[in-house]
Amino acid sequence: MYEGEGKKGEIYELKAELNSDKRDRKKEAVKKVIASMTVGKDVSQLFPDVVNCMQTDNLELKKLVYLYLMNYAKTQPEMAILAVNTFAKDCNDPNPLIRALAVRTMGCIRVDKITEHLCEPLRKCLKDEDPYVRKTAAVCVAKLYDINQQLVDDQGFLDMLRDLLSDSNPMVVANAVAALSEISEQSPQIKIFDLNGPTVNKLLTALNECTEWGQVFMLDAIANYAPRDDKEAQSICERITPRLAHANSAVVLSAVKVLMKFLELIDQNSEFAQNLFRKLAPPLVTLLSTEPEIQYVALRNINLIVQKRSDILKNEMKVFFVKYNDPIYVKLEKLDIMIRLTNATNIAQVLAELKEYATEVDVDFVRKAVRAIGRCAIKVEQAAERCVSTLIDLIQTKVNYVVQEAIIVIKDIFRKYPNKYESIIATLCENLDSLDEPEARASMIWIVGEYAERIDNADELLEGFLDGFKDENNQVQLQLLTAIVKLFLKKPTETPQELVTRVLTVVTQETDNPDLRDRGYIYWRLLSTDPKAAKEVILAEKPLISEETDLLEPTLLGELICHIGTLASVYHKPPNTFVEGRFMTKKNLPLRSGFSNNDGESMGNGAVPSNYQESVVISSNVGSLIDDFDILGPMPNAPTTTTDTLYGQSQQRAPSAIPNLLDDELSSILGTDINMGGVQTTPTTATTNTSAPASRLTTTATSGGNLLDDLFGDLNLSSGAPGISFSSTNTFVLPKEIWLTAQKGKGMEISGTFARRNNQIVMEMDFTNKALQPISDFALQINRNSFGLIPAQPLHVTSPLFPNQTVSATLALNTTGSIAKSDPLTNLQIAVKNNIDVFYFNAIVPIHVFFGSDGEMDKMAFLQTWQDIPESNEVKHQLQNSSNLSIDDLQNKLRLNNVHTITRTTIEQNEMLYQTIKLTNGIFVLIELKTSPGNRTIAFSLKTRVPEIANLIVQSYELILSTAQGAIRCVRYNIDGNYCLTSGSDRTIKLWKPDSNLTIKTYTGHSQEVLDVHSSYDNSRLCSGGGDKRVLYIDVMSGKIVKKYQAHAGRVQAVRFNEEGTLIFSASIDGTVKIWDVKSREYDPIQILDDAKDSVTSISLSGHEILTTSLDQRVRTYDIRFGKLTEDFIGHNLTYINISHDQQCFLVGTLSSQLMLFDKINGKLLQTFVDYTNNTYMIENALSNDDQFIYSGSEDGRLICWSLLTAKQVCAVEHEANNRKSVNTLSHHPKEDKLLTAQEGNIYIWSKTDNVEEKEEIKKSVVTEKKFVAPKFVSAGFE
Amino acid sequence: MIGGVFIYNHKGEVLISRVYRDDIGRNAVDAFRVNVIHARQQSRFPVVNIARTSFFYTKRSNIWLCAVAKQNINAAMVFEFLNKMIDVMQSYFGKISEENVKNNFVLIYELLDEILDFGYPQNSDTGVLKSFITQQGVRPVTREEQTNVTSAVTGQIGWRREGIKYRRNELFLDVIESVNLLMSQQGQVLSTHVAGRVVMKSYLSGMPECKFGINDKITVENRTKNTTDSTNATTNPNNGATNPATTTKTAIAIDDCQFHQCVKLSKFESEHSISFIPPDGEFELMRYRTTKDISLPFRVIPLVREIGRTKMEVKVVVKSNFKPTLIGQKIEIRIPIPPNTCDVQLLCMKGKAKHKASDNAIVWKMKRMGGMKESQLSAEIELTPNDKKKWNRPPISMNFEVPFAPSGFKVRYLKVFEHKLNYSDSETIKWVRYIGKSGLYETRS
């Protein structure tokens, strides 16, 4: 009570002093406050009084007040706001010290209200003229990011920070690097600090002039950079090497880290690398003469470095000799490194030292020294004998813990060198009684059991142990049990049967330990049923003890090397084991990309220095793989002997000439034809000037007009025809098949397939390990083949692959390799190497992956070529159009696979398609397809100069046509609900009648998936937008594209007509909404709404208002009449907006799995609808016509309906049982209670039954579903 | 980065606590006290992880300094920083003691605010810090002066401010070497190295550029190669053949060297020349390490005989092994004896010897000893019969100071160039001094 009063008095006094007029008293008072604060007293009551002192020009006083603020602002946020004005004022102070102080302090006050006010001063200070202020501001950005990431993003501070990397002042650069590194570590998912060549260069330049700490920041940042090639790595290494002479050990270690990491990329045997290795040793040794704490950090790191590259310090053994006065932690670490460096040449020295250490006083150290002697014996075979005799000497000292430790290691020596040192057993037995530690006792018992036949009184010894069996440690008990049984099996005649029975009885009946009991039972049964088997089991040969059991696992070691100097390297643990919360990116050592394909000799027989480096240096083994591979299987001798002109031709072309192939081929076909006047020639005379045929082409076009008319009749080009180039994304892919069975692959199973992705042939493989041990060191090589396929990059498989684990790997392939005809033509011989063996197998490459995207041909050229190829080369076939594809679909589907439709025509009601394919090796294939109405077969006829491939092409057509693919991007009812529009990722828009399943028309013209479509009120026009950034304005009747708008910078996600159909609103990922006047002749938007900070996801129109949602979490309402913009911050990423029919509310979908209903007038949140999944896709929602119900798709394949008023789920129905694919799009019928949805390629119509009640039981019956055999769509998911 | 810095007294009371990061809770201060300072068993590692928080600590006299972090931070940097902080504090108020810390706590807070920002070490150069963190209050400074300060803190030459003027331009070079030796009982050298430091005191005006030359093997060889090449062309070849032989003899092989941050490392790497703009006043220019051809100034020859269980005879001979004209100073030999010693009879030819029971050692001191001399001490030690614990003989250690550099290190030149102020190299007064000291100079007995 009394004390409490005293305290109060103290505070009261301080209060009075703080409010004193005298500056000195004030300052003293603040000092007292800070002193109390330090000791942990609560002085927060003085907050207002202290803050009052802030307004001073005394820098020291100001600093004190700021210190107080930092501590207490959080507890008194309302009061802290009082300080904001002073901060703002100080940020404009003429004195740079004060400006910096203010910025520094503000960032430490974690009060939201203050943070808001921080932005403007910070922005100014980031551009301050004084470098001192700038460097402080740079760190402040990191502080701010820690408080409010969104704010930093929004305010563009990150860009400003990046700008500071080019600052003229090195310290500013250093702090910017530090801040950026921290920020990017906090949000690894965003590429905030993307190091590239020029940036690294800037850092390297600034490095020379920076403070020691700045150098550490920069080196740590550079360590995260991935150099493009070994040259760049080498030049960075060169510039960093001088840092090794820095006095600050942190700089040295960080430099070592960069060097160790980048050395991975440099050829180990090069002079440069060897030189660098030599340069690394002295600075590491010098670190040992620093303060003990730093020595400790250095030693822990040296321990890692030695494990990675033992030769760096192999000659420096002496420096690790322990000094008498070293702190114990230094001693233990030195000992560890000594053992790692021990080899045959220095063992004598080491052993003498270890013997010395074994007489020291510190028990832990002595034990470790004794153990080290044993480890030396196991490591260096030549020295084993000397080590053993040293151990015997130590045992003779009779120092209890030395003896025990010695016996433990001798057990390991026995396991390593069986039947070699049994002579010492007698000495060991003398010390039996002094052993009191379980491990030592267990070791001794093991020795007795193992060598029972040599020890005369083994039974007595073991019996002695058995007497106190129950008091023994579990480990000892287990060992004793085994030893007695061993003894019995070895000397069945002499051993008293009673001993065995006794131990088995005790173990099985009187013990609670299940391990012990079970082992007892097993022995008992083995002995009683089959003594011979018992012998085999119990006396089995033991695997030899491995010499380096205490080495770190190589991947962990690699990761730790990337963390040299940091805590992880001190703990020898990856950071995620001791750092909380943050999502950490795992660092790995870079892999050297020396996997060149043909010239294996450069790295042929590189002997691998030690076995654990093997996993890193893959390239050193590749040479041998290639050698093996070349002699495999029967192969044509030389490519020139292949008679086929085709192969000869493509051989002559340099690999880089691929893009020109088209010209060459065309000119060879056309040029010769024109010259020869239609006489057939072989295309081998492809030497004609490439520019000449181009002009000739035009002339043939006019002169050959009649010809064309004859063949094609009335030309009826579809709107999506050749004028538009299609950047094909993905062609269809066959399912993976097993290439190499586990049986053949010694446990490694490989299944795979080929695909064409983004115009790159890729091999997609799954590696499964069905063996018992991990598999590592994967490499792959492809034999010469018909199409010249070779890997474009080395195979990258996460290694090691543990048992029962499967990893997928994708390998890009080039077609620039050497060519040899294989049989069958598409056969590919593949060799995969791993640490076990090299395996060879065959795979068939589906021919359609060779279809090039550049295979379009001019009509005339087509015609000419068609005529040129002899009739005998024509192959005819009947294709089954089993899924009843329309001619449009057919065309689309084929186009996706790089089959180009040259022209399309109708002859006597038969639709004809003329198509070309160009293979990667330049072969053209010309195809004619004929469909007749009502007939499901397609007449197929093909012409090519290389008839061998004809059948393969036919097969691929069958494959392409038979695969049903699909997902639908968008479904929309038209204005009256009689028709509906759907669009998909097959780049088409379809108009169809929902009730009759009748496709009326297909509209094409987009070159990528179509994301949204809308019809005008009079149903005469359509507008659409898609991934190709275009907005199309299409005439419904003719299908013609009336207008094509191309001003968006990113894909168009939503399009809408205004009510009159005169304007199109398009929203794009580029963050703008553009408004187009369709009546105008202009192709520029009449207005651009670019208020959004992120992609605009949807638009909704209602009368005079435009509502948009954006991923910047805001709903924007544009009032056209007043020209006013209202922003509502929702706080979630928004995907879709709908306005209620009464125009009072709007409903938004969010990426946090909730729909939110807001009052449009005042922005109040009215209702939240939950219990569905929406985290990734843009899921659309809808309101029923009477605004009673709310519908939405869900990512788990359900359609959800809520009651608007209660926010309760009325129903949730699955589209298909067992199909949990996302339902993205839906549209409500404008008049009836019907819904249109789509899941993947199927379209569903739902109609509502009448009596809706909020009851759980009737959920399923509320909505009946009606499924259609929908028009087939081609798809890709929507991210 | 560093989340906070705490300073405790030996009782574990907090003297200074400065938290930089939000992830460090208030209980971190107590966690360290409870788990490290008050721990029953002394912690064996300088980094401790308690509840996913890492504590880095070091102790000076009886003051604990501790840095805390929650992230995977650069550990070497933290310790370097702690040491640096100690240096800074020492140069501000002398010895680190509880009283000094308490008296200067405002200053320490101010320093901590300046040298650590959000846990990132900033400029920690004492000279620069002293230019704007003073405890005299703020003098009204002109705008120019302020920018001088800030550019000094952040500038390329962060260790020197503009406008320094001296009437007499003077500089002092101290080459201080400590010889480390571990010798076996039999007189075999187990390991030896010299850790040398070149300490410079510069009192130079303006922004002088200095060039420093030493008898490092690589540089000397480079030079002789060049000169012999040129001399060979003019004079007869016989001269050229003898010349390098004499120069290489005086050159030494430096295993590794490190420089103050003012030295242009890239220039050293490329041209092997040491050039720098020195800070004002005293600083450590260079540190180096040599292991070859070290002339050991002294040799200790111990002879220990145990006579029975209660008696021991120790004889120690010290030989000095340098030029007779030089004199070694402050010689102290520490001979450890068993803890159960009850009486010691000492006899020495020179100097004074004492039995220090508290240290369990005989301390033999000689003020000076000439070169190529020898001296002896013999002792009879009586022991109380007590063999509970085995006595492991610690090594005999020795301290001394000699006026030469045992590694053979020589300063060849130090040139000063100042472009603006135009004082020439010859006008500067330069002093060089060599001191050889004992580091860990031990002989196992």
Last residue of a domain, one of A547, A562, A593: A547
Mean residue pLDDT across chain A: 77
Q: Are residues B387 and B430 in the same domain?
A: no
**Residue A1141 located in a structural domain:** yes
Angle at B442 between CA B441 and CA B444, to 5 degrees: 170
Residues in A touching B441 (Cβ below 8 Å) = none
- CA–CA distance from A444 to each of A302, A481, A547, A1220 (Å)? 35, 13, 21, 62
- Residue A796 to residue A806: CA distance in whole angstroms: 14
Length of chain B: 445
List the one residue out of A733, A1278, A1277 whose CA is nearest residue A963.
A733
Percent of chain A with pLDDT over 70: 82
Which residue from B minimizes the CA distance to A110?
Answer: B22
Q: Are residues A980 and A951 in the same domain?
A: no
Could you read off the pLDDT of A242-300 as tens digits, one per residue? 888 888 899 999 999 999 988 888 888 888 888 888 888 888 988 888 889 999 999 99
Residues in B touching A356 (Cβ below 8 Å) = 444
Beta carbons within 10 angstroms of residue A1125's beta carbon: 12
Q: Are residues A980 and A1016 in the same domain?
A: yes
**Residue B316 located in a structural domain:** yes
Which residue from B minimizes the CA distance to A179?
Answer: B120
Q: For position A584, what pLDDT does the model report?
A: 56
Q: Are residues A878 and A927 in the same domain?
A: yes
B67 vs B132, which has greater pLDDT?
B67
Q: Are residues B418 and B360 in the same domain?
A: no
- Distance (Å) from the C-alpha of residue A1131 to the closest C-alpha of chain B? 24
- Residue B316 to residue B309: CA distance in whole angstroms: 21
B264 annotated binding-site participant: no
The structure's pTM equals: 0.57
Q: Is the separation of the CB atoms in B319 and B374 below 8 Å? A: yes
- Residue A73 to residue A114: CA distance in whole angstroms: 10
Half-sphere exposure of A732 (CA within 13 A, CB side): 25
Q: Helix (H, G, I), strand (E, B), or coil: what is residue B331?
A: strand
Whether A698 has a pLDDT exceeding 50, the answer reads no
Whether A986 has a pLDDT exceeding 80, the answer reads no
Half-sphere exposure of A1191 (CA within 13 A, CB side): 24
Percent of chain B with pLDDT over 90: 19
Whether A1274 has a pLDDT exceeding 70, the answer reads no
- CA–CA distance from A1151 to each of A1068, A1111, A1201 (Å)? 18, 9, 18
**Residue B166 located in a structural domain:** no
Q: In angstroms, how far is CA A592 from the centroid of its own chain? A: 19
Q: Are residues A1001 and A987 in the same domain?
A: yes
Q: Is the separation of the CB atoms in A1243 and A1270 below 8 Å? A: yes
List the one residue out of A739, A738, A764 whose CA is nearest residue A753.
A764
State the average pLDDT over residues A1235-1264: 56
State the average pLDDT over residues B98-108: 88
Q: Are residues A827 and A854 in the same domain?
A: no
Q: Are residues B8 and B120 in the same domain?
A: yes
Between chains, do A282 and B124 touch, taking CB under 8 Å as contact? no
Q: Are residues A791 and A866 in the same domain?
A: no
Q: Helix (H, G, I), strand (E, B), or coil: what is residue A347?
A: helix
Q: What's A1242's domain CATH number?
A: 2.130.10.10
A930 vs A175, which has greater pLDDT?
A175
Between chains, do B191 and A318 touch, taking CB under 8 Å as contact? yes
Checking ipTM against 0.95, whether it exceeds it is no
The beta-carbon neighbor of A38 closest among B17, B77, B146 is B17
Beta carbons within 10 angstroms of residue A1149's beta carbon: 29
Read off the tokens for A811: 């390998």
**Residue B231 located in a structural domain:** no
* Residue A1037 DSSP one-character state: T
- For chain A, the domain total comes to 4
Q: Is the separation of the CB atoms in B438 and B400 below 8 Å? A: yes
B356 annotated binding-site participant: yes
Read off the tokens for A816: 């620039």
- For chain B, the domain total comes to 3
Whether A376 has a pLDDT exceeding 70, the answer reads yes
Q: Are residues B275 and B417 in the same domain?
A: yes
Could you read off the pLDDT of A1195-1234 as tens digits, one per residue? 888 888 888 888 888 888 877 766 777 888 888 888 888 8
Residue B47, φ and ψ in degrees, nearest 5: -125, 125
Phi-psi region of A436 (alpha: psi -120 to 50; beta: other; left: phi over 0): alpha
**Residue B144 located in a structural domain:** no
Give me the residues of B, 67-96, that contact A with CB < 8 A.
69-77, 79-83
Q: Are residues A1172 and A1068 in the same domain?
A: yes
Q: Is the separation of the CB atoms in B296 and B182 below 8 Å? A: no
What's the domain range around B417? 171-176+184-224+250-289+409-435
Burial class (CB in 10 A: 0-12, 13-18, 19+), B360: middle
Could you read off the pLDDT of B349-389 as tens digits, one per residue? 888 999 888 888 899 999 989 989 999 999 998 888 776 66
- Distance (Å) from the C-alpha of residue A357 to the closest C-alpha of chain B? 10
Which residue from B minimizes the CA distance to A251?
Answer: B77
Q: Is the separation of the CB atoms in A892 and A956 below 8 Å? A: no
**Residue A699 located in a structural domain:** no
Beta carbons within 10 angstroms of residue A644's beta carbon: 12
Q: Are residues A775 and A821 in the same domain?
A: yes
**Residue B155 located in a structural domain:** no
Q: For position A491, what pLDDT does the model report?
A: 79
List the one residue out of B371, B381, B360, B265 whose CA is nearest residue B316.
B381
Lowest mean pLDDT among A665-674, A1051-1060, B298-307, B432-441: A665-674
CB contact A651 to B (< 8 Å): no
Between chains, do A247 and B120 touch, taking CB under 8 Å as contact? no
**Residue B153 located in a structural domain:** no
Q: For position A299, what pLDDT does the model report?
A: 94
Q: Helix (H, G, I), strand (E, B), or coil: what is residue A621?
A: helix
- Beta-carbon contacts of residue A893 (< 8 Å; ≥ 6 apart): A885, A960, A961, A965, A986, A1274
Could you read off the pLDDT of A995-1050 as tens digits, one per residue? 766 677 888 888 778 889 999 888 889 999 988 888 999 998 888 888 888 888 88
- Cβ-count burial B13-51 (b if 16+ within 10 Å, e if not): ebbbbbbbbebbbeebbebbbeebbeeeeeeebbbbeee
Give me the residues of B, 212-271, that contact A with CB < 8 A.
255-261, 264-266, 268-269
- Residue B111 to residue A1087: CA distance in whole angstroms: 57
Q: Are residues A958 and A810 in the same domain?
A: no
Strands in A779-782's sheet, in edge-to-edge order, are A779-782, A827-833, A838-844
The beta-carbon neighbor of B150 closest among A132, A563, A568 is A132
Q: What's B255's domain CATH number?
A: 2.60.40.1170
Q: Helix (H, G, I), strand (E, B), or coil: what is residue A47?
A: helix
Q: What's A911's domain CATH number?
A: 3.30.310.10
Q: For position A882, what pLDDT does the model report?
A: 60
- Distance (Å) from the C-alpha of residue A107 to the closest C-alpha of chain B? 9
**Residue A640 located in a structural domain:** no
Q: Are residues B283 and B414 in the same domain?
A: yes
Judge if the upstream peptide bond of residue A492 is cis by omega within 30 degrees of 0. Answer: no
Whether A646 has a pLDDT exceeding 60, the answer reads no
The beta-carbon neighbor of B143 closest among A94, A136, A209 is A94
Whether B233 has a pLDDT exceeding 70, the answer reads no
Of the pLDDT bands very low, low, confident and very high (cuts 50, 70, 90), residue A550 is: low
Q: Are residues A1113 and A981 in the same domain?
A: yes
Percent of chain A with pLDDT over 90: 6
Q: Is the separation of the CB atoms in A68 and A37 below 8 Å? A: yes
Between chains, do B154 and A169 touch, taking CB under 8 Å as contact? yes
Which residue from B minimizes the CA distance to A292?
Answer: B46
A808 vs A1154, which has greater pLDDT?
A1154
State the average pLDDT over residues A444-471: 82
Q: Is the separation of the CB atoms in A749 and A721 below 8 Å? A: no
CB contact B444 to A (< 8 Å): yes
Beta carbons within 10 angstroms of residue A962's beta carbon: 13
Q: Are residues B192 and B56 in the same domain?
A: no
What's the domain range around A495? 437-547
Of the pLDDT bands very low, low, confident and very high (cuts 50, 70, 90), residue A994 is: confident
**Residue B309 located in a structural domain:** yes
- Cβ-count burial A8-23 (b if 16+ within 10 Å, e if not): eeebeebbebbeeeee
Q: Are residues B271 and B340 in the same domain?
A: no
Q: Are residues A1144 and A1023 in the same domain?
A: yes
**Residue A450 located in a structural domain:** yes
Q: Are residues B112 and B34 in the same domain?
A: yes
Read off the tokens for A437: 């530690």
